[in-house]
C-alpha cells in the first residue's frame, strides 16, 4: 500500500489533515498516490430543498450502517456560502449522535464559490475517504440548482428528498431534480399529505421517463451522461421519518438494490467514464488558461478588459482577439 493510504487508514487525524490539504488544493501527490486504492466504497449523494431533513436522514442512515458493522464517511457540502467559504455549524451539531464512533468520519466542506467546485474538491475528498477504507460514503448537499448536478456527477446513488405539502416553487424544482434521483425519499412522512406527495412524484417520474432525453454530447461543455439510466431501473419512492428511523431499512435496501443494478447493468462503468471525461476536460480548461495567463500575451488582457468596459469591443470579439495574439506570439 502507498504510504499515504497506510497513514490515513491508521490515523483519523491524518485523514482530516489530508482533507484540509485537498480543500486547499495542495494534495496533488497524495491524490495521485492513493488513486489506485479507490473503488471500494459506494458513494451516496443526498440532496433536497432546505428543510427537507437531509442531516437527519444522513444521521439515521449512518447509524443503520454502523449497526450492520459497516463504516461510513460523511461529507457535508455547504454551497451556501460562496464568498466566505464558511461551513454550517448546524451540520456538525446535528451529527453529534455519531461522534466518538471511530467507524464514522464526518467532514464539512465549503465549496467557496468555485464554479463546479463540488465536482473537484468533493470528488477528491470522496477518493480520500474511499482509499481510507470506508464502506459507504455519504455526500450531503443543500440547495437547489447547480449543486445537484454536481452531486449526480460525484455519487453512485443519488437520493433526492422531498417533504409532504410544499409550495408551488418547490413543485417547480421537483421537475428538474427528479431527473437526477436514483431514489426518492418523502421524508416527514408522518405529516399530512405524504401519500399524495408520493403519488404526485410517481406521476412526475413516469412522465419524465416518457419524455425525450436531452442528447449527450461527448467532449463538450454539456453535462455528461450521468443520468443515462438503463430502462431497467425504476426510481423507487421511499416514505421515511428520518428523526425516528422509520423507512431507513427500506432506504438502505433500495440503495443496495441500486448498487447491484449499477454493477450488473454496466451503468456503473458508463457513469464513471462520463465523470472522468468531465473531470479531465475541466482540468484541461483550467490548465490551458493558466498556461495562457503565464505567457507573453497575458499583458494584453487588462487592455482588452478596458476596451470591453468602454464598449469599444464586445466580450466575444475580445476573447478572439486575445487568442489571435497568442497564436502570433507562440
User: Minimum distance between the CB of residue 29 and its own copies, rounded to whole angstroms?
Assistant: 10
Q: Does 180 bind its own copies (CB under 8 A)?
A: yes
- CA atoms of 126 and 240, how far apart (whole Å): 26
Q: Which residues contact 130 (CB under 8 A, 6 or more apart)?
A: 37, 38, 39, 40, 41, 43, 137
User: CB-wise, 180 or 262, nearer to its own copies?
Assistant: 180
* Closer Cβ to its own copies, 144 or 257, answer by number: 144
| Smallest separation, CB 293 to its own copies (Å) | 5
Torsion angle (degrees, nearest 10) of CA 184, 186, 187, 190: -160
Alpha-carbon gap, residue 139 to 72, rounded angstroms: 11
d(CA 58, CA 126): 16
Residue 210 CA, chain-centre distance (Å), reads: 26
* Residue whose grid cell is 464559490: 113
Interaction of residue 295 with its own copies, rule CB under 8 A: no
Q: How far is the CB of 93 from its own copies (least distance, A)?
A: 10
DSSP H or E run through 91: helix 89-94
User: Is residue 206 involved in binding its own copies (CB under 8 A)?
Assistant: no
Taking CB under 8 A as the criterion, which residues in 243-282 touch its own copies? 269, 272-273, 276-277, 279-281
CA distance 296 to 51: 51
**Which residue is it, cell 482509499?**
131
Q: Is 296 one of the binding residues for its own copies (CB under 8 A)?
A: no
* 7/227 with CB nearer its own copies: 227
Task: Tell me: does residue 170 bind its own copies (CB under 8 A).
Answer: yes
16 is a contact residue toward its own copies (CB under 8 A):
no
Q: Is the Cβ of residue 68 or residue 115 nearer to its own copies in the bound state? A: 115
**Judged by CB under 8 A, how many residues of this single chain contact its own copies?**
95
Residues 19-38 contacting its own copies, CB under 8 A: 28, 31-32, 35-36, 38
Residues composing the chain = 330
> What is the per-residue DSSP string for 108-143?
EEE-TT-TTHIIIIIHHHHHHHHHTT-SEEEEEEES
| Per-position x/- string for 311-330, each x denoting binding to its own copies as judged by CB under 8 A, each - no binding | xxxxxxxxxx-xx-------
Choose which of 10, 16, 230, 289 interacts with its own copies (CB under 8 A): 289
Q: Is 179 in the site for its own copies (CB under 8 A)?
A: yes
- Give the footprint of its own copies on residues 58-77 (CB under 8 A): none
Stretch that binds its own copies, among 109-117, 183-191, 243-251, 258-266 (CB under 8 A): 109-117
Amino acid at each position: 500500500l502507498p504510504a499515504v493510504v497506510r497513514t490515513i487508514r491508521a490515523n483519523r487525524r491524518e485523514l482530516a489533515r489530508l482533507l484540509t490539504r485537498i480543500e486547499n488544493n495542495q494534495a496533488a501527490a497524495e491524490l495521485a498516490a492513493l488513486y489506485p486504492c479507490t473503488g471500494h466504497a459506494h458513494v451516496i449523494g443526498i440532496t433536497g430543498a432546505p428543510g427537507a431533513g437531509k442531516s437527519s436522514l444522513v444521521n439515521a442512515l449512518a447509524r443503520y450502517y454502523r449497526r450492520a458493522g459497516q463504516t461510513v464517511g460523511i461529507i457535508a457540502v455547504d454551497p451556501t456560502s460562496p464568498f466566505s467559504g464558511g461551513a454550517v455549524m448546524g451540520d456538525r451539531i446535528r451529527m453529534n449522535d455519531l461522534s466518538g464512533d471511530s467507524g464514522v468520519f464526518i467532514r464539512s466542506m465549503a465549496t467557496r464559490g468555485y464554479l463546479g467546485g463540488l465536482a473537484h474538491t468533493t470528488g477528491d475528498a470522496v477518493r480520500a475517504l474511499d482509499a481510507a477504507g470506508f464502506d459507504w460514503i455519504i455526500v450531503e448537499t443543500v440547495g437547489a440548482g447547480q449543486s445537484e448536478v454536481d452531486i449526480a456527477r460525484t455519487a453512485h446513488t443519488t437520493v433526492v428528498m422531498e417533504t409532504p405539502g410544499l409550495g408551488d416553487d418547490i413543485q417547480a424544482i421537483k421537475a428538474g431534480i427528479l431527473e437526477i434521483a436514483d431514489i426518492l425519499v418523502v421524508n416527514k412522512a408522518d405529516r399530512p399529505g405524504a401519500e399524495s406527495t408520493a403519488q404526485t412524484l410517481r406521476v412526475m417520474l413516469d412522465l419524465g421517463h416518457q419524455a425525450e432525453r436531452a442528447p449527450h454530447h461527448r467532449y463538450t461543455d454539456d453535462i455528461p451522461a450521468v443520468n443515462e439510466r438503463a430502462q431497467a431501473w425504476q426510481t423507487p419512492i421511499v416514505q421515511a421519518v428520518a428523526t425516528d428511523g422509520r423507512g431507513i431499512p427500506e432506504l438502505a435496501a433500495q440503495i443496495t438494490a441500486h448498487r447491484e443494478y449499477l454493477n450488473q447493468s454496466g451503468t456503473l462503468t458508463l457513469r464513471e467514464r462520463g465523470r472522468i471525461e468531465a473531470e479531465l476536460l475541466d482540468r484541461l480548461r483550467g490548465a490551458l488558461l493558466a498556461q495562457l495567463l503565464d505567457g507573453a500575451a497575458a499583458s494584453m488582457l487588462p487592455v482588452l478588459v478596458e476596451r470591453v468596459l468602454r464598449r469599444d469591443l464586445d466580450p466575444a470579439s475580445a476573447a478572439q482577439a486575445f487568442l489571435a495574439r497568442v497564436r502570433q506570439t507562440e
